[in-house]
Amino acid sequence: MAKAKTVYICSNCGAHSAKWIGNCPSCNEWNTYQEEIIHKDPKAETRVKYSFSGDTKVIPIPLSDVQQGNIIRKSSGDAELDRVLGGGIVRGGIVLLGGQPGIGKSTLLLQLAIRSSMKILYVSGEESEEQIKMRADRIGITNKQCIIYTETSIPVLLKEAMKQQPDLVIIDSIQTLRVPELDSSPGSITQVRESTNEIMKFAKTSQIPVFIIGHINKEGAIAGPKLLEHMVDTVLLFEGDQNYSYRIIRTQKNRFGSTDELAIYEMTAEGLREVSNPSEILLSQSEELLSGSSVAATMEGRRTMLIEIQALVSTAVYGTPQRSVTGYDLRRLHMLLAVLEKRVGFPIGQYDVFLNIAGGIKVIDPATDLAIVSSLISSMQDISISREYAFAGEVGLSGEIRAVRGIELRIQEAARLGFTKIYIPKSNAKGLDLNRFSIEVVMISKIETLFNDLFG
């Protein structure tokens, strides 16, 4: 038997070292080296042998001679998933789906497997056939071409995939797979890297797309080496608060499409339901006017949504005022509070401030600044804002309202949902035809103008 070899591997970039190093010389990250015991059988094959037909010899050619072909896509049957993938599943593409435990990763891909008309090989290293069947029965529709295969050995499952020749392979999850020639345990850096490398070789050679589920660590990043995200074609991240029923898929990387898109789902007893109109579920249905509440016209990628912003400003009970946010960047809130105190004259530093994005979603669009400032002033003055008003604009450090992208789409979405007035930056007026809209558009350039118009 070959002697076991101990190496240290950087979990961020995959660099090797014979001894532990505090700072990785390759990626300059600290405390990322982890010990791995590697043992290879000299009599065993270290690579999976594939028997695909055709000449796989590659020769170098000039860039000018490369013929650009159209990317062949196939619909997954899920409009929201197709959106974040850039229009559908690409032949030979590898998609990595990560997210917190219980967020709905396995449910989403099982729905894809049993509701699609494609022939799909669903490989599970975490659940038995009976457990998968129970979840499939709860979801409802059954695809007779969905093949369940519970296996963790990479050579065995890829050999079965070659035999079945499915339209799509789903693997749940990459942390359960292992290459038998490696003596390290499943989920280790070495196993994840080598398993992904074999899957990538299979997908690119056979042109069969592969979906991979990946676990995340306590910091929220996908577990395993950072190299894992570099090797795949698309990285999707499942987000959501388990106290709410809504889930969001964001695109972190996409070689075949935009990274600006997102998909929204609602978790139900029958599985994940596509949400085609998120504005209607993210806005409060209450008719009662309350202070501290406003509506922001925000954009995620090319998708426009209207969301409710809730703020509470109250007298500080303790010596140091509290600042608490849900679904928003705390540092940007501090900046907006400083602008209000400096430019408008509100003594906001003496008050506790609580900010919440209704619906449990996270917002990074700077165009929500105007709605947040309106909510803060409304709560501090204890004067409600009409529920028929919407806001879209970025607030600068000098109190000016800065232009935002996609202003026409924001106005159209507010008009479609029945809003009567929307406040936008005056700098967005260039080239904007107000006669096209059935909503009153108010253009402002400073926070002082907003305060005088809303609260007199």
User: Over 112-158, what HEC string results?
Assistant: HHHHCCCCEEEEECCCCHHHHHHHHHHHCCCCCCEEEECCCEHHHHH
Q: How far apart are CA 122 and CA 105, in angstroms?
A: 13
Any known ligand binding at 418?
A: no
431 labeled binding residue:
no
- Is 321 annotated in a binding site? The answer is no
> Does the annotation place 99 within a ligand binding site?
yes
Contact 121, 161 (CB under 8 A): yes
Place of tokens 């080296």: 33
Q: Is 101 annotated as a binding residue?
A: yes
Under 8 Å between Cβ of 205 and 56: yes
* Largest Cα span, the chain: 85
The kind and range of the H/E element at 415 are helix 407-416
Which residue is associated with the tokens 């006017």?
A: 289
- Residue 301 is assigned to a ligand binding site: no
Strands 16-17 and 5-10: antiparallel
Instruction: Provide the residue count of the chain.
Output: 456
DSSP 306-359: EEEEEEEEEE-SSSSPPEEEESS-HHHHHHHHHHIIIII---GGGEEEEEEETT
Residues within the annotated binding site?
Answer: 99-106
Residues within the annotated binding site for ATP?
Answer: 99-106
